[in-house]
Structures are given as C-alpha cells and as structure tokens.
C-alpha cells in the first residue's frame, strides 16, 4: 500500500452562518487512536446536524474533529491497536462524531460496518446516519412492534425514506407527512400506507380518522408537540430527534400524557459513547444489513456534489427540495 500523504483536502467552517462559510482547506491527515481505524473517504453524507453545526448550534463533542460530517464510506488504510477485527483494504461505512467532509477520517472500529453486498461506496455512505438514527429511536426507544402504526414527519427526508422501509419490513403500518404531492407519491412508492400533504391536510384530523399512531418520529418540534400528543393512541410513544422549528414550547397541556399513558422520548447519537453506538452497529449488522442485502430496503439518493461544493449541498438541504440523501464525493 502506498505511503499516506501528510495533508488532505477537507471542508471547514470558516465562520458560523450561511452555507458560504464552508470552505475547502488543507489539513493534516488524522492519526487513529487506540480502537480506531483511518479511512480513505470516498463519500460522505450530508445531514441536518451538519447544518446546525455550521450555524453554530451543534458543536462537536470534546475530542471530535471540528470538520463537519457524521457518516462516511471508503477503504481502511490504517488500523490502530485494539481495532484489529478490521484490516487495511477493508471497505466499510462508519458513523463518526465529525471529520467526514474530508479525504481521510478516523472512526471507532466499533462504529464501522461492512458495505452491504451489492452496494457501492456511495450507497454505503448514504445509509449510516439514517439507519443508526431510526433503529435507536423508532425501535430501541420507541419499541415499534408488528401491526402498530408509525407516523413519520418529513417522510421524504433521508431519515424518513429509511424509516418507511425499515418499519414496513418489521411489519408496521406507516403514515407520513410531507410538503408536496410529489414527495407524498415517492413515500407511497417506498411502502407508506398513507401520505399526508401537510399543506393540504391537517395531520391530526387525518390521524384521528386513521386510528391514530402508536409511535411518532418527529424532527419538527415547536407547535407540533401538542399536535403529536393529540395524534397518539393510548400507550403511544413520541420519539423526538430534532427541532426544525424550535425546541421551546411555551404552552403545553400535559393531561393527555397522564390519561393516555404516553411516553415522550428522544435521543441524539453524537454524544453517546463508542460502546453504545457499537451496540447499535451490532444490532444493525444482525437485523437490518440483511434487509439491505436482499433489496428489501434501498437507499434513496438525490444528488451528489464534489467535496469543494459542500456549500451547494447545504443550500440544497436547506431548501428542502430534495427527496432522500444528499452526498459529497470526497476522493
């Protein structure tokens, strides 16, 4: 294997604010610590937390790279101590706490997964953050069961398109919300049982007619909180993963929480320990990777940009015109 370069191209946040603050720069190639591998990155996924970091609202945890990017795929080029279940030359995808928008990135060995059979590296990079998030929230925290109803807000997003397919594979009924008929149609094609265009219909009224939800996956927040509560069945679970509106709610009636025995929960992956994320990876390899390899779940790719075009990728995501995943080509 050829000698590694001393430096690499990477995208850094030159200043917090608009997408133009993302600039291509030169950085030292990182060195993996114990339990880590170094990956030559082929592709990195673009996610909403990356935008929040660029805006200054989602700082990396202590010790993590300040370079944005939470999911990558590529080839392992170096293996540190205590990571020897991987070897140089292995093709992997990985969840990382930062550093993905670069030509090289370190990753905890426990958070790496093999590229599913038949997948390209681009497809492999596109499924990591969404699959981790859906499994951790809908299935681990939300405890979605067969024949239950899952309501997904933002059904056409990367998270949404993944959640639809995973929930259907595990026998749930799926209802989604999206902002256009085109997005609703795509979600129906992916397996959703009912699609709600929130610009035309009140999702609370629709859910009442549909028998309400047992689990809700929400990334909107704000005034959706009360509407979500009103859309849940007895013993329902609300899983909050983001706040596109606001995390602050000034008025909220808790009575239904008590009378309906509701659970309000949520999580974010980035601050969790390597061991916790490693357990999720182990579950995914056993329970979900076979579904990718059989074609039961398929990645939904929208557009891929060059690494130097990261600002354009962020602008597209902020426009909400996309359906599925936005990617960066890093090599």
For residues 49-75, average pLDDT = 96
For residues 278-300, average pLDDT = 98
Q: Is residue 23's pLDDT more than 80?
A: yes
Q: What is the pLDDT of residue 244?
A: 85
Q: What is the pLDDT of residue 245?
A: 87
Per-residue confidence band for 253, with pLDDT thresholds at 50, 70 and 90: confident
Rg of the chain, C-alpha, whole Å: 20
Q: Is residue 76's pLDDT more than 90?
A: yes
At 206-245, the pLDDT tens digits run: 999 999 999 999 999 999 999 999 999 999 999 999 998 8
What are the tokens at 122? Answer: 């681009």
Q: Give the predicted TM-score (pTM) of the model.
A: 0.95
Determine what percent of the chain is predicted with pLDDT higher than 90: 95
Scan for tokens 């983001």, then name that residue: 242
Per-residue confidence band for 114, with pLDDT thresholds at 50, 70 and 90: very high
At 119-159, the pLDDT tens digits run: 999 999 999 999 999 999 999 999 999 999 999 999 999 99
Q: What is the pLDDT of residue 26?
A: 98
For residues 47-54, average pLDDT = 96
For the chain, the average pLDDT equals: 96
Listed by start position, the domains of the chain span: 7-127+270-329, 132-266
Q: What is the pLDDT of residue 1?
A: 52
Strand pairing of 263-266 and 213-218? unpaired
Q: Is residue 170's pLDDT more than 90?
A: yes
Q: What is the pLDDT of residue 2?
A: 67
Class of the CATH domain delimited by 7-127+270-329: alpha beta
Class of the CATH domain delimited by 132-266: alpha beta
């Amino acid at each position: 294997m050829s000698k590694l370069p001393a430096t690499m191209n990477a995208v850094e946040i030159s200043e917090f604010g608009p997408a133009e603050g993302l600039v291509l720069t030169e950085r030292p190639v990182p060195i993996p610590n114990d339990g880590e591998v170094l990956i030559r990155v082929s592709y990195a996924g673009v996610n909403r937390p990356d935008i929040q970091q660029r805006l200054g609202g989602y700082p990396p945890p202590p010790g993590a790279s300040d370079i944005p990017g939470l999911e990558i795929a590529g080839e392992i080029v170096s293996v540190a101590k205590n990571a020897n279940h991987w070897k140089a030359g292995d093709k992997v995808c990985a969840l990382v706490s930062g550093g993905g928008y670069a030509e090289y990135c370190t990753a905890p060995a426990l958070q790496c997964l093999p590229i599913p059979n038949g997948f390209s590296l681009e497809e492999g990079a596109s499924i990591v953050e969404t699959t981790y998030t859906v499994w951790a929230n809908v299935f681990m925290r939300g405890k979605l069961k067969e024949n239950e109803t899952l309501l997904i807000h933002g059904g056409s997003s990367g998270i949404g398109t993944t959640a639809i397919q995973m929930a259907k594979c595990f026998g749930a009924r799926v209802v989604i919300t999206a902002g256009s008929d085109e997005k609703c149609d795509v979600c129906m094609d992916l397996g959703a049982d009912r699609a709600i265009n929130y610009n035309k219909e009140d999702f609370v009224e629709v859910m009442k007619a549909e028998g309400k939800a047992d689990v809700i996956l929400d990334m909107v927040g704000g005034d959706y909180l009360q509407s979500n509560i009103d859309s849940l069945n007895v013993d329902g679970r609300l899983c909050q993963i983001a706040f596109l509106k606001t995390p602050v709610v000034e008025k909220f009636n808790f009575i239904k929480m008590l009378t309906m025995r509701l659970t309000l929960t949520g999580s974010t992956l980035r601050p969790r320990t390597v061991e916790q994320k490693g357990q999720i990876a182990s579950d995914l390899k056993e329970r979900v990777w076979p579904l990718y390899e059989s074609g039961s779940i398929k990645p939904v790719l929208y557009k891929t940009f060059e690494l130097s075009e990261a600002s354009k990728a962020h602008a597209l995501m902020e426009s909400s015109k996309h359906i599925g995943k936005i990617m960066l080509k890093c090599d």
